[in-house]
């Protein structure tokens, strides 16, 4: 049995082997010299191309890594950990002009509008203290990446941003910003990101009633922000140019009054605003209960000014709020010169006639004013105070004369 098995295996191996006279199919002809040289050259070209692609990839990764540090959201811990030595100086948006051309500056403000033009360019309108500045973000190899342009385009409006770049003067005047220069952005950081959908837009809140009616008549879509909505979102509403102007005008008026009175030897005092009884007979009073006792809001610091004079302070003054329960709109007096920009901002939303005033202030005695009113047919108590209607009438009489 063993002999038969060996013979069977031997015959099987012989059958599997190819004939000695035939060439095995797995053996190929030896390569020709020309073919071998062409293959070597092809391999060399492929290696060079691969090396170039690898070099390009590494350079792109390095560029992305370097430009990634030029934009992004600033973490809160990083802001909190800054020391005075780490803080850089910002340039006010309102101070940017043609004299700073080609200078590298850093500004901080709110991103009022963001307008992507393409994957390689975006415009950002930065607002600070009522001034606006156009910033241009353009993709530049090894300086500003497309990823940076994409990041800028995705920042929410009204976010607080830090912008670094070079001041440039455009060829044509800028109509959409207060400043007539641009910043060619090199770095862009989001310091505080606003909500994606704010209750009101600055453009809508800044729209005047006249502009709204014109848009409505023209069939254009326009949003009119009502007073209740403004008051519910007062923080956003105060960012409009008109509201910024109103508060800055008020500040300027108080400053001028204070400077003049101090230069004349007056002493500034601060009097109580919650008192036990009415402080002025000619004005209505806000009454309230204060811990079970009747009280009212001060209509005037008159009583305490008289007390200060009797206390030998001499000349005294106070600049502060008073509270009068009158159904009236107070007459505003502002400064044309120092508040020119603010007046224009207020006038755009709340139109008014240009202010008329005398270089030398007109001074009338109370007796003269009462007599003018009587001559105009207005009955006035010569021993009482002038009410709001009498004051308005007297103002018109003075203007006519």
Alpha carbon distance 370, 383 (integer Å)? 10
Write out the chain's pLDDT in tens, 401 residues: 444 444 444 444 444 445 544 444 444 555 566 666 666 667 777 777 877 777 766 665 655 555 678 999 988 777 766 666 666 789 999 999 999 999 999 999 999 999 999 999 999 999 999 899 999 999 998 889 999 999 999 999 999 999 999 999 999 999 999 999 999 999 999 999 999 999 999 989 989 888 888 888 888 888 899 999 999 999 999 999 989 988 998 899 899 999 999 999 999 999 999 998 887 765 588 999 999 999 999 988 988 999 999 999 999 999 988 888 876 655 544 455 567 777 777 777 777 777 676 777 788 899 998 899 988 888 888 888 888 888 888 888 888 87
Determine, yes or no, domain membership for 149. Answer: yes
Q: How many domains, the chain?
A: 2
- Give the domain range for residue 385: 356-400
Alpha carbon distance 113, 94 (integer Å)? 18
Contact 242, 249 (CB under 8 A): no
Boundary residue ending a domain (159, 177, 197): 197
Question: What CATH number did the domain enclosing 182 receive?
Answer: 2.40.50.140
Determine, yes or no, domain membership for 381. Answer: yes
Contact 286, 325 (CB under 8 A): yes
385 closest CA partner among 278, 291, 225: 278
Boundary residue ending a domain (152, 177, 197): 197
Determine, yes or no, domain membership for 288. Answer: no
Determine, yes or no, domain membership for 294. Answer: no
Determine, yes or no, domain membership for 292. Answer: no
Determine, yes or no, domain membership for 19. Answer: no
Boundary residue ending a domain (145, 177, 197): 197
φ, ψ of residue 49 in degrees (nearest 5):
-65, -40
322 closest CA partner among 366, 291, 355, 284: 284
Write out the DSSP string of 263-323.
Answer: HTT-EE----SEESS-S-TTS---EEEETTEEEEE-S-SHHHHHHHHHTT--SEE------
Determine, yes or no, domain membership for 35. Answer: no
Determine, yes or no, domain membership for 20. Answer: no
């Amino acid at each position: 049995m063993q002999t038969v098995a060996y013979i069977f295996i031997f015959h099987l191996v012989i059958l599997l082997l190819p004939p000695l006279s035939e060439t095995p199919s797995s053996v190929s002809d030896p390569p020709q010299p020309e073919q071998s040289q062409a293959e070597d050259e092809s391999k060399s070209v492929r290696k060079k191309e691969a090396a170039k692609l690898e070099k390009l990839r590494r350079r792109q990764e390095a560029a992305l890594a370097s430009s990634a540090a030029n934009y992004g959201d600033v973490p809160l811990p990083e802001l909190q950990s800054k020391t005075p030595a780490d803080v850089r100086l910002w340039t006010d948006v309102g101070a940017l002009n043609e004299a700073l051309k080609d200078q590298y500056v850093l500004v901080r403000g709110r991103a009022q509008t963001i307008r992507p033009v393409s994957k390689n360019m975006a415009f950002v309108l930065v607002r600070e203290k009522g001034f606006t500045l156009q910033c241009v973000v353009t993709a530049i190899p090894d300086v500003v990446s497309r990823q940076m342009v994409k990041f800028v385009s995705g920042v929410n409006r009204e976010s607080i941003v830090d912008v670094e770049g070079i001041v440039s003067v455009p060829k044509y005047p800028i109509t959409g910003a207060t400043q007539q220069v641009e910043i060619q952005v090199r770095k862009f950081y989001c310091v505080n990101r606003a909500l994606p959908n704010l209750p009101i837009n600055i453009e809508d809140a800044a729209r005047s009633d006249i502009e709204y009616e014109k848009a409505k008549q023209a069939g254009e879509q326009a949003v009119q922000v009502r007073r209740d909505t403004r008051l519910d979102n007062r923080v956003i509403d105060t960012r409009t140019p008109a509201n910024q102007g109103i508060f800055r005008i008020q500040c300027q008026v108080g400053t001028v009054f204070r400077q003049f009175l101090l230069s004349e030897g007056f002493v500034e005092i601060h009097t109580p605003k919650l008192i036990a009884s009415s402080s002025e007979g000619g004005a209505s009073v806000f009454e309230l209960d204060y811990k079970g006792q009747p009280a009212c809001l001060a209509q005037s610091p008159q009583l305490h000014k008289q007390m200060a004079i009797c206390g030998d302070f001499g000349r005294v003054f106070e600049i502060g709020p008073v509270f009068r329960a009158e159904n009236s709109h107070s007459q505003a007096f502002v400064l044309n010169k120092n508040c020119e920009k603010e007046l224009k901002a207020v006038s755009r939303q709340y139109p008014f006639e240009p202010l008329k005033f005398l270089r030398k202030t007109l001074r009338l005695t109370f007796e003269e004013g009462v007599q003018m009113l009587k001559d105009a047919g207005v009955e006035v108590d010569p021993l009482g105070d002038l009410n709001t209607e009498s004051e308005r009438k007297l103002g018109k009489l003075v203007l006519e004369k």
